């Protein structure tokens, strides 16, 4: 079954303590769609400007990503610049240039409207709503978000939470949204805002699922060298939804495995700048690393 991904399609300029790389292919939807494409047919909804490099379009296509929902508009592609501190868990945004996203109105191609699995990757909640308005009775809807929207678009985000099955967010965002420090209490409060499933990401410390069947703790795959963690969260969400689309059957039965697969794709993402490592990844490498991760947590 297919996955629909909406989110940012961006050029990212990234600086780490060791190196920097300008205008890489990035954006929440790019990372999520590539991750999902390892598991299921993936449809991308987004917008790029006239400056969007052709090789990046080719990369989406090489992964079989359906681009009918990717608009090309006059103007410049969304550009984000960020810098990591020596502790790579800490990052500063240097620039957010919206470009063509400023006036973007996602219009779903008619054949996208029945997509069963929908990932609302990080983008303005108003755009996430706009996509949800156009899909017909999806089986499972996952939303991702970021602190920016908690600070600038909280009413729209709260309205969105009533419309999604799962919310994926990081630990500091969960604390901010729930107004409590303890993550279990935060998850419980977020359930009351709408989503049956709450997945809290804790960077290199893995993630926590809270849902109708209780809790699940998913490890991150341990890496000795992180080159660039940008997009790891989006890759996690994309891998998770892609896995669910491939697994079919009740989501509750597959969600734990979906998190392990998301975690593994995210680990590959961190091994090089932007999408470079993910672009070279093959399903066999994913499978092997999932097995390794399972061995690491066997008691
Ligand atoms: P992550 O590392 O998972 O937080 O995601 C990083 C990605 O989010 C980068 O590829 C950016 O292009 C994208 N991004 C950064 N800021 C925004 C924003 N305000 N809206 C949408 N996407 C963003």
Q: What is the pLDDT along the chain (299 residues), one digit of tens a residue?
A: 999 999 999 999 999 999 999 999 999 999 999 999 999 999 999 999 999 999 999 999 999 999 999 999 999 999 999 999 999 989 999 999 999 999 999 999 999 999 999 999 999 999 999 999 999 999 999 999 999 999 999 999 999 999 999 999 999 999 999 999 999 999 999 999 999 999 999 999 999 999 999 999 999 999 999 999 999 999 999 999 999 999 978 999 999 999 999 999 999 999 999 999 999 999 999 999 999 999 999 99
**Atom of ligand 1 lying closest to residue 149 CA:** 19
Q: Which tokens is 75 given?
A: 């103007």
Mutate to test the pocket of ligand 1, among 81, 122, 173 (most ligand atoms within 8 A of CB): 122
77, β-bridge pairs: none
Contact in structure between 34 and 64 (CB atoms under 8 Å): no
Number of H helices, E strands in the chain: 11, 13
The predicted pLDDT at position 137 comes to 95
Q: Whose CA is nearest to atom 20 of ligand 1?
A: 123
Q: Which helix (H) or strand (E) holds 44?
A: strand 42-48
What is the sign of the dihedral through the CA atoms of 297, 223, 240 and 198?
positive
Residues 32 and 271: beta-carbon distance below 8 Å: no
DSSP state of 79: E
C-alpha of residue 167 to centroid of ligand 1, in Å: 16
- pLDDT recorded at residue 249: 84
108: DSSP letter: -
Predicted local distance difference test score (pLDDT) of residue 54? 97
- In the prediction, which pLDDT does 47 show? 98
Q: Detail the DSSP E strand segments found in 2-121.
A: 3-6, 10-15, 20-26, 42-48, 70-72, 78-84, 91-97, 117-120
171 CB-contact burial (10 Å; exposed 0-12 / middle 13-18 / buried 19+): middle
pLDDT score for 248: 75
Q: What pLDDT is stored for residue 20 in this prediction? A: 96
Query: Is residue 146 helix, strand or coil?
Result: coil
d(C-alpha 257, C-alpha 69), whole Å: 29
Spatial separation of the C-alpha atoms in residues 235 and 29, rounded to whole Å: 9
Block residue for tokens 């420090």: 181
Asked if residue 231 has its Cβ within 6 Å of ligand 1, the reply is yes
Q: How far is the CA of 187 from the centre of ligand 1 (A)?
A: 23
Look at residue 89 in the predicted model and tell me its pLDDT: 86
Distance 47 CA to ligand 1 centre (A): 14
Report whether 62 contacts 56 (CB < 8 A). no
Residues facing residue 96 across a β-bridge: 80
Helix H or strand E segment including 95: strand 91-97
DSSP code of 4? E
Binding site membership of 233 for ligand 1 (Cβ less than 6 Å): yes
Residue 127 · residue 106 · CB < 8 Å: yes
Of residues 180, 170, 173, 174, the one with CA closest to residue 148: 173
């Amino acid at each position: 079954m297919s996955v629909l991904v909406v989110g940012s399609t961006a050029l990212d300029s990234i600086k780490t303590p060791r190196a920097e790389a300008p205008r890489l292919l990035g954006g929440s939807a790019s990372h999520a769609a590539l991750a999902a494409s390892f598991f299921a047919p993936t449809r991308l909804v987004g917008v790029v400007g006239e400056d969007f490099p052709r090789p990046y379009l080719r990369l989406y296509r090489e992964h079989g990503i359906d681009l009918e929902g990717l608009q090309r508009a006059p103007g410049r592609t969304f550009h984000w610049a960020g810098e990591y501190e020596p502790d790579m868990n800490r990052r500063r945004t240097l620039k957010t240039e919206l470009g063509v996203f400023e006036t973007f109105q996602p219009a779903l191609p008619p054949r996208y409207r029945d997509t069963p699995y929908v990932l609302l990757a990080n983008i303005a909640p108003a755009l996430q709503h706009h996509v949800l308005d156009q899909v017909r009775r999806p089986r499972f809807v996952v939303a991702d978000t970021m602190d920016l929207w908690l600070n600038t678009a909280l009413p729209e985000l709260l309205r969105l939470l009533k419309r999604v099955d799962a919310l994926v967010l990081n630990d500091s965002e969960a604390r901010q949204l729930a107004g409590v420090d303890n993550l279990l209490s935060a998850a419980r409060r977020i359930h009351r805002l709408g989503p049956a499933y709450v997945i809290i990401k804790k960077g290199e410390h893995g993630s926590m699922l809270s849902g109708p069947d209780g809790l699940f703790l998913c490890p991150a795959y341990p890496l000795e060298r992180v080159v660039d963690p940008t997009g790891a969260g989006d890759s996690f969400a994309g891998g998770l939804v892609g896995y669910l689309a491939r697994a079919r059957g009740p989501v509750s039965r597959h969600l734990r495995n979906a998190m392990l697969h998301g975690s593994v794709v995210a680990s590959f993402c961190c091994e090089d700048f932007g999408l470079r490592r993910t672009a070279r990844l093959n399903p066999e490498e994913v499978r092997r690393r999932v097995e390794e991760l399972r061995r690491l947590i066997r008691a």
